[in-house]
């Protein structure tokens, strides 16, 4: 399998070449040159496989530069019941007739990002070890991504993590999760500023090419292909759990921000998994819902980006969306480039409403969408608690609200549960008047010793810190 860029660069690259990279050199995103096809007979063979073996089967269709036995061992080491709390890894439970929740948030940091990041940690360690190289991951987080990255990379050989976060602005639970890690290769940098200041620092450091090369600076952001690929696996698992041996179609609803999660569903569907609809659920930051309703993709400014109670979906643009648009346009790289590079840069938007391909988004690719608000979240959390005695988090609530608008008789609808309620306790208290239950392993973490360094919002000081801790 070779990988190409969504902006027309056809230089074929293998999996391990793009594993440690972000964007392609032409500014596009990597995609496989074709989607391997999985037929009904293969699905039947895969139905009873344990999750880690299913992951190996799917990953091996895309990775041919890691020996099969090594890849199998990496998958087996990653997807264990000990780490994910359940033998199914992503267990399914039925809420009401035909409507299911698939739990993706039982990993170490209680959000779905663990599903991919845990594998990435093991792949990075493996590949860096093979090359005899080291990598210093520099990131910015307002919560979920940073903790998922740290828990995936902690104790890994050849990898250090320098994670900036806005000082005092994460929830006490999120701070405790990250800052209580005592691993020597994890560095928490609390920046005097807001999340944008942290992102600016990461950009400034990455733009200093000499520094970047000398200190081997890398990232683990959501456009990384390996992260997306790891997420493809749970759509297969969800389909197996929601269907009997006779198979049939299943729809998925995905609480969405950067379009990484639902893009993995798109890949699964392109491989031939019988997915009927892929429903994109957004919060008040409805860039994606607007596109699927109108054909207009309009990037928002920071004044137009709302701070909501499902904060991991508070995005102004959807960084993985370009992958889907490339497929929608029949894989026309120069057209994708003109939309994302030229039109977005000059006007902040593009409009496909008058283009015949826009109808394909729903017709050929199965996409639908919807939007949810703070009031919807509260109502959905209350309703789910009262009627089913199931406590869901705010992001999953956005998904469930939108899923109900898209259910079709006879087609199971699976809502992806993307975080556990304990991460967003304040809104749970607002909805229910009580604190969510805390998993035993997180009892009292706020009281643990914290390992964090406070720095001013100054890229030079962050560089200095990295240089001093890269020995
Ligand atoms: C990251 C995240 C999302 C959004 O996922 P995307 O891949 O960015 O669309 C939704 N819910 C939670 C809890 C998340 O952490």
Answer whether residue 437 shows pLDDT above 90: no
Q: What is the pLDDT of residue 96?
A: 95
Q: Whose CA is nearest to atom 7 of ligand 1?
A: 260
Alpha helices in 208-339 (DSSP H): 209-214, 225-242, 260-270, 287-294, 321-328, 333-337
Contacts made by residues 87-90, CB under 8 angstroms, sequence distance 24+: 87/50, 88/51, 88/237, 88/241, 89/51, 89/52, 89/234, 89/237, 90/51, 90/115, 90/234, 90/237, 90/238
256 CA to middle of ligand 1, Å? 6
113 is catalytic: yes
Q: Give the model's confidence band at 415: pLDDT under 50 very low, under 70 low, under 90 confident, else very high.
A: very high
Q: In the predicted model, what is the mean pLDDT of residues 271-300? A: 97
The runs of H, that is alpha helices, within 274-432 are 287-294, 321-328, 333-337, 344-347, 358-363, 374-388, 394-406, 425-432
What atom in ligand 1 is closest to the CA of residue 256? 9
Ligand 1 centroid vs 417 CA: distance in angstroms?
A: 10
Ligand 1: which of 103, 110, 111 to mutate, most ligand atoms within 8 Å of CB? 111
* Average pLDDT score, the chain: 95
Q: For residue range 40-73, list pLDDT tens digits in order.
A: 999 999 999 999 999 999 999 999 999 999 999 9
pTM assigned to the model = 0.96
Specify the ligand 1 atom closest to the Cα of 393.
Answer: 13
List pLDDT tens digits, range 363-394: 999 999 999 999 999 999 999 999 999 999 99
Q: Is the pLDDT of residue 207 over 90?
A: no
Average pLDDT, integer, range 127-141: 94
Average pLDDT over residues 164-174: 87
Residue 18 has pLDDT above 80, yes or no: yes
**Mean pLDDT, to the nearest integer, of 138-147?**
87
Burial category of 36 from C-beta neighbours within 10 Å (exposed 0-12, middle 13-18, buried 19 and up): middle
Give pLDDT tens digits for 289-339: 999 999 999 999 878 888 899 999 988 889 899 999 999 999 999 999 999
> Which residues, judged by CB distance below 6 Å to any ligand atom, belong to the binding site of ligand 1?
111, 113, 144, 222, 255-261, 312-313, 395, 418-419
pLDDT at residue 173 greater than cutoff 90: no
Rounded Cα gap, residues 382 and 429, in angstroms: 11
């Amino acid at each position: 399998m070779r990988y190409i860029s969504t902006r027309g660069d056809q230089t074929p690259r293998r999996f391990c070449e793009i594993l440690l990279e972000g964007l392609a050199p032409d500014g596009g995103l990597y995609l496989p040159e074709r989607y391997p096809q999985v037929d009904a007979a293969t699905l039947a063979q895969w139905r009873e496989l344990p999750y880690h073996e299913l992951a190996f089967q799917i990953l091996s269709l895309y990775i041919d530069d890691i020996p099969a036995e090594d890849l199998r061992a990496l998958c087996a080491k990653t997807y264990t019941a000990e780490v994910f709390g359940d033998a199914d890894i992503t267990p399914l439970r039925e809420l009401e007739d035909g409507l299911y929740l698939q739990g993706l948030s039982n990993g170490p940091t209680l959000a779905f990002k663990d599903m991919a990041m845990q594998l990435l940690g093991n792949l990075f360690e493996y590949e860096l070890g093979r090359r005899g190289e080291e990598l210093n991951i520099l990131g910015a987080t307002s919560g979920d991504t940073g903790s998922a990255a740290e828990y995936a990379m902690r104790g890994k050989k050849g990898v250090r993590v320098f994670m900036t976060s806005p000082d005092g602005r994460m929830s006490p639970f999120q701070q405790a999760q990250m800052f209580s890690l005592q691993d020597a290769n994890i560095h928490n940098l609390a920046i005097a500023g807001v999340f944008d200041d942290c992102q600016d620092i990461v950009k400034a450091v990455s733009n200093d090419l000499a520094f970047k090369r000398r200190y081997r600076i890398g990232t683990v952001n959501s456009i990384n292909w390996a992260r997306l690929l790891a997420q493809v696996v749970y759509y297969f698992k969800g389909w197996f759990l929601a269907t009997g041996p006779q198979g049939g179609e299943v729809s998925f609803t995905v609480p969405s921000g950067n379009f990484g999660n639902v893009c993995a569903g798109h890949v699964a569907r392109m491989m031939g998994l019988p997915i009927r609809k892929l429903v994109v659920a957004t919060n008040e930051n409805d860039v994606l819902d607007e596109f699927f309703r109108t054909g207009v993709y309009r990037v928002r400014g920071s004044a137009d980006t709302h701070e909501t109670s499902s904060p991991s979906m508070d995005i102004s643009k959807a960084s993985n969306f370009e992958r889907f648009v490339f497929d929608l346009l029949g894989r026309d790289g120069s057209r994708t480039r003109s939309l994302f590079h030229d039109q977005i840069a000059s006007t902040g938007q593009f409009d496909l409403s008058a283009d015949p391909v826009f109808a394909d988004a729903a017709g050929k690719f199965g996409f639908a969408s919807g939007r949810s608000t703070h009031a919807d979240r509260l109502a959905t959390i209350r309703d789910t608690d009262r009627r089913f005695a199931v406590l869901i988090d705010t992001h999953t609530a956005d998904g469930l609200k939108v899923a109900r608008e898209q259910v079709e008789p006879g087609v199971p609808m699976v809502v992806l549960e993307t975080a556990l309620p304990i991460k967003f306790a304040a809104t749970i208290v607002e909805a229910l008047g009580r604190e969510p239950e805390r998993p035993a392993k997180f009892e009292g973490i706020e009281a643990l010793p914290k390992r964090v360094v406070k720095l001013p919002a100054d890229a030079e000081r962050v560089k200095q810190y990295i240089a001093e801790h890269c020995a």
